[in-house]
Amino acid sequence: MALPDLKETLCRKIREHLFNTGVTYRYQETTGDFKFGNGSRIEAVSWSDGNLSKLGSHEYSAFAIEELTENRDSDFYDVILQRTNRLAHVKEPFVISATNPDSPRHWAYKKLVESKSPKVKTFFSNTFDNPYLPRSYVENLLERMPKKVADRMIYGLWIEIDEERVYYAYDRDHNFINKSYEINERLPIRIHFDFNIGEGKPLSMVCSQFLQDKSDDLGEWHFYDEVIVQGQRTLDCLEEAGSRGLLDHGTAVLVHGDATGKHKDTRNIWSDFDIIEKFLSDFKRKDGSKVNHKICVPRSNPPLRERHNISNAYMLSANGARRLFVYKDAPTLDDGFRLTSLKSGGQYIENDGPSCPYQHGTTAATYGIMFEYLGLESRKNSGVYSYRG
């Protein structure tokens, strides 16, 4: 399962180093193995299926491990140590591991970083010291990473990231504003949806505006209201928003949400976004005007950890900027950003149980954050910039 990644990273780098050296070798594309003219071999192996017995039949003089900390226990490492230094004619056996830092609780920190053995050496890398990366590239990363992630990924520190709270960068003293928000009528309003329904899982809608100008392409998010009621369906939520005047502003409405809401099921020929589209098309404001609207949803949802990291960076980036604010009329969203946690166990999944009804508002909000962020990155990569203001 991990072999394709290994061939795209470590194996490719070996081939680059061998290019134009005059060393005679053959590379097997299917297996990722190398065979050299003097009889030496490099073999690509993976144990992501948990089968460590495949390592037991080999004799190695050296072993290079890619992304060490992605292994959550050390059983494989002990097997590798037993199978290395098995070739007596090779005088310099070694095991080398390349990895991003992780929590100090990770087994690799205790086994290797803190090791007192003279046979173990640890080398720390600071991204700013990489001569092949322009400084502007690293500084751009700092804008888009929360501080603790940057401490790990940029500065190479083994530090703890608060795993009890998903949105650990959210600080109520700085990200919460205890007053109502004043709508900027020159900008669209945004309504964000999470469609989960069940006991303790209310369908959730939050309202925001995204402020962006030429001086700051990342922009600012202002979340100012919410419609979160137990047991409501998509149409109930929209009717509640309409009756409260949340759609009566003379500005366009952009819709964000869970990409799976585009899917129909056997119980309903209408998807959630079909229902939203029809409601907004038919809705008339109190002044009789129609709602100019657009559905802004990607084909699929972004990875969960990426959504968390980018949202944390908006709350507090590594260079100290805050670009996300919650107002007093969105109290459930405030609770969600303060309290949402991960489920216990090994998988990276949010705790969305009946005792955590606030979690769904944060999911709705961060879907919109990721839609805009990924759009910005796409425009930058293609050389096209845009701003609203």
State the pLDDT at residue 193: 95
Residue with tokens 């780098």: 13
DSSP single-letter state for residue 363: H
223-to-174, 180, 210, 305, 334 alpha-carbon distances in Å = 14, 10, 9, 21, 9
State the pLDDT at residue 382: 45
State the pLDDT at residue 266: 35
State the pLDDT at residue 309: 92
| Helix (H) / strand (E) containing 239 | helix 234-243
State the pLDDT at residue 200: 65
The answer to whether 196 and 203 are in contact (CB under 8 A) is yes
- Which residues 6+ apart lie within 8 Å of 373 measured at CB? 144, 218, 310
Q: CA torsion sign, 156 to 162 to 166 to 172? A: negative
Kindly list the averaged pLDDT for each block of 10 residues, start to end, along the chain of length 389. 82 93 94 93 86 80 90 88 86 91 86 90 90 88 85 86 80 94 96 80 93 83 94 91 95 92 56 93 95 92 92 94 96 92 77 82 96 77 38
320-to-151, 174, 176, 316, 331 alpha-carbon distances in Å = 13, 12, 16, 6, 25
- Token pair listed for 66: 């890619």
Residues for the chain: how many in total? Answer: 389
State the pLDDT at residue 59: 84
Full set of structural domains in the chain with CATH: 3-129 (3.40.50.300), 172-381 (3.30.420.280)
Q: List 350's β-bridge partners, or say none.
A: 342
CA gap 343, 341 in Å, rounded: 7
